[in-house]
Structure 1
Amino acid sequence: MNNNSTKILLLMTLMSGVLISISANSWLGAWIGLEINMLSFIPLMATNKNIYTTEASMKYFIVQTLASSTLLFLIISKSIIEELYMIFNNHLSSMIVCTPLLLKSGAAPFHWWFPSIMEGLSWINCFILMTIQKMAPLMLISYSLNMNLFMWIVILMSVTIGSIGGMNQISIRKILTYSSINHMGWMLAAMSIGENMWFIYFFIYSILNLTIIMIVLSQQISFINQTFMMGNEITTMKFLMFTTLLSMGGLPPFLGFLPKWIIIQHMIINDMNFIISLMVIMSLMTLYYYLRICYASFIITNMGPSWIIQFHKSKITLLSMVLSSISMFGLILFTLMINIF
């Protein structure tokens, strides 16, 4: 798709679908918003530069249609059986309605479609799939959430599969995919604190995700071994990627630790010590494959062979610099603001 006006139109309808779902006062309106969002994203996935986009768009269409039709069927059947305002008064109803929404958002154990689709997308579409496409399902889950045994199993499976699944991956897209599954578990756990806490986590995760994608997009890299030849003449780019990946892993000096800190504190107060210990251990395991990507950042003085032809010059965009600075100094600024005000 080369027509920029078409892309702008589809992006507008994609965002309008998210807003319709979030602001709908009935489940039918929320379902319509989800359908508008899905049908706007599928044409954006198609491109002539990548042969895998057709397969990825077909897989995405089938999975999302399955989730949407299941959601519509469950809503209609429950509203027939019970009164509409009694839908979420018990844990079973919440579990039934949350299941297709978890499938849409790619949480484990409903994540089976996520890695293969991500591998066939461009970097911009990867960012949309990991962030914007999860906003409406997560918001609808937060409306109808009951923190029962089913949700804690989903949270623990998301955190575990997201950390273990990225261990043997060499594709940066799949590593970011399993990282997204891991963060989904933390976002669902954040919903137990309040309706706004998961949104803070999601906002910080989106900033970190955008920073990494801007860096790999400017360098045109897709695999770990390509990071060793990434901008040898510009060490700043490596440093930015290094710090952003550590921030996404939740290392304390960086902004990515802030929402995890709040979740850890809240769950310890509520005597959920075993669950939060397992989540922290699995989150530390994700640092392993983050460090594999930024290994070249440690070896800043590495040399490149003279026969490698540089087809493009490395560029550091202003947006990457600003977002990386927010990632590095955000936690310090937030703590200063809290202590001062």
Structure 2
Amino acid sequence: MPNNSTKILLLTTLVSGVLVSVSSNSWLGAWMGLEINLMSFIPLMSNVKNMYNTEASLKYFIVQVLASATLLFMVVMKTLTEDLFTMEGTAYTPMIICTPLLLKSGAAPLHWWFPGVMEGLSWENCALLMTVQKAAPLMLLSYLIEINTFTLTIIFMSTVVGAIGGLNQTSMRKILTYSSINHTGWMLTALALSENLWMMYFAIYSTLAITVVSAIKLSGVSFINQTMMTNKETTLMKFMMFTSLLSLGGLPPFLGFLPKWIIIQAMTANSLAPMATIVVVTSLITLYYYLKISYSSFMILNTEPKWNLKSHKNKKTTNTKALLLSTVSLTGMAACTIIVNTY
């Protein structure tokens, strides 16, 4: 929990914006919630002392304002030209209103702003952008989304772009960005099939994303080549970071495999086997670049520079939080299986 009162206030209004948007019974109320959420996140992002933070907050502001203005314009136009209350009109209505929401959530091909913004943020803000900031747009999408050509195209593009985009990256932030785009494709699949599926997937994905970010922040790593040079004393921390990464990639023994397994079953039951094959293959590609990060640290021999004097011994609270989250990531699937079989 941040000890700065301004940050606490902004985080409260940020969550309030999401809740207003989700619980609203009109599109105008949903738009207001999105705006409250945006106005709370911009001050959290910007930092006078860091030029990259300011640049990222400006990029994010421009993109989100464009999406919000488009959403408001589309909703007003549709209520004027079609039925005011039901909005039943052409088959293109859901598609048109979905587009700004997809831009807000960073789904491909409207993902172009996402890597650039993530690269300039602190790790705490990266975690917020990958988790909390996706909740409201995706929840609003659930009112409109259907299994049709448009939705399947967006799911296909998100999973493919998220998988291939991360292959050539060296920055940990960009790798997590493309992973998030891939997971957005999975979440859109879950939304099209069932809202409960999406809520389960989103909850598990958020937990895993926060786990990975906590572990990476603790190790002080920003690029792949730095993973080899982390402190030898912090073996537990390395183990936490890489098991969490593998869980996020969906490796079977870990918690991250559980929601993917359930979604694959649901897709097969709904005659979407070809799309299920595509999302599974792209998920394997994301697992490959997680293994690429993990490989150097799984090696017995590693190098450590003499100037690597950063100690984590005084960060007891952060260590405990990361350890607790990674334990959930490691044992969550086994726990869920035991609970289901017991009852």
TM-score by length of 1: 0.96
Counterpart contact for 2:64–2:104, Cα < 8 Å: yes
Please, which moves more after superposition, 72-81 or 144-153?
Answer: 144-153
- State the partner residue of 2:342: 340
Question: In structure 2, what is the Cα distance between the partners aligned to 1:137 and 1:168?
Answer: 29
Percent of aligned pairs sharing the same letter? 58
Please, which moves more after superposition, 317-326 or 41-50?
Answer: 41-50
State the Cα deviation string for residues 286-323 of structure 1 (Å, max 9, x = none).
01111122223312452424x32413336561111111
Aligned to 2:51, the other structure's residue is in SS state: coil
The alpha-carbon deviation at position 271 of structure 1 amounts to 1.9
The alpha-carbon deviation at position 86 of structure 1 amounts to 2.8
- State the partner residue of 1:328: 330
State the Cα deviation string for residues 67-86 of structure 1 (Å, max 9, x = none).
00000000001001112333
State the Cα deviation string for residues 199-219 of structure 1 (Å, max 9, x = none).
111111111111111111112
Counterpart contact for 1:160–1:182, Cα < 8 Å: yes
State the Cα deviation string for residues 202-245 of structure 1 (Å, max 9, x = none).
11111111111111111221111111112311211111111111
- State the partner residue of 1:311: 310
Opposite residue 144 of structure 1, the aligned amino acid is: L
Counterpart contact for 1:7–1:44, Cα < 8 Å: yes
Question: In structure 1, what is the Cα distance between the partners aligned to 2:283 and 2:338?
Answer: 26
Instruction: Report the number of matched residues.
Output: 339
Aligned to 2:302, the other structure's residue is in SS state: coil
Opposite residue 323 of structure 2, the aligned amino acid is: M
1:199-218 to 2 correspondences below 5 Å: 199-218=199-218
- State the partner residue of 1:256: 256
Opposite residue 36 of structure 1, the aligned amino acid is: I
Opposite residue 156 of structure 1, the aligned amino acid is: F
Question: In structure 1, what is the Cα distance between the partners aligned to 2:267 and 2:230?
Answer: 40
1:179-328 to 2 correspondences below 5 Å: 179-305=179-305, 307-313=306-312, 317-328=319-330
Question: In structure 2, what is the Cα distance between the partners aligned to 1:287 and 1:331?
Answer: 18
Aligned to 1:286, the other structure's residue is in SS state: helix
Question: In structure 2, what is the Cα distance between the partners aligned to 1:7 and 1:91?
Answer: 43
- State the partner residue of 2:104: 104
The alpha-carbon deviation at position 3 of structure 1 amounts to 8.5
Opposite residue 312 of structure 2, the aligned amino acid is: K
Question: In structure 2, what is the Cα distance between the partners aligned to 1:340 and 1:81?
Answer: 55
The alpha-carbon deviation at position 338 of structure 1 amounts to 1.2
Aligned to 1:143, the other structure's residue is in SS state: coil
Consecutive unaligned residues of structure 2, counting only runs of 5 or more, are none
Opposite residue 161 of structure 1, the aligned amino acid is: V
Question: In structure 2, what is the Cα distance between the partners aligned to 1:285 and 1:90?
Answer: 38
- State the partner residue of 2:92: 92
Change (3 A) 1:304 1:330: same
Opposite residue 304 of structure 2, the aligned amino acid is: G
Change (3 A) 1:333 1:66: same
State the Cα deviation string for residues 262-290 of structure 1 (Å, max 9, x = none).
11011112221111101100100001111
Question: In structure 2, what is the Cα distance between the partners aligned to 1:86 and 1:148?
Answer: 21
Question: In structure 2, what is the Cα distance between the partners aligned to 1:258 and 1:14?
Answer: 29
Counterpart contact for 2:94–2:145, Cα < 8 Å: yes
Aligned to 1:108, the other structure's residue is in SS state: coil
Opposite residue 333 of structure 1, the aligned amino acid is: A
After TM superposition, the runs of 4+ consecutive aligned structure 1 residues lying more than 2 A away are 88-91, 300-303, 311-316
Q: CA RMSD in A?
A: 1.6
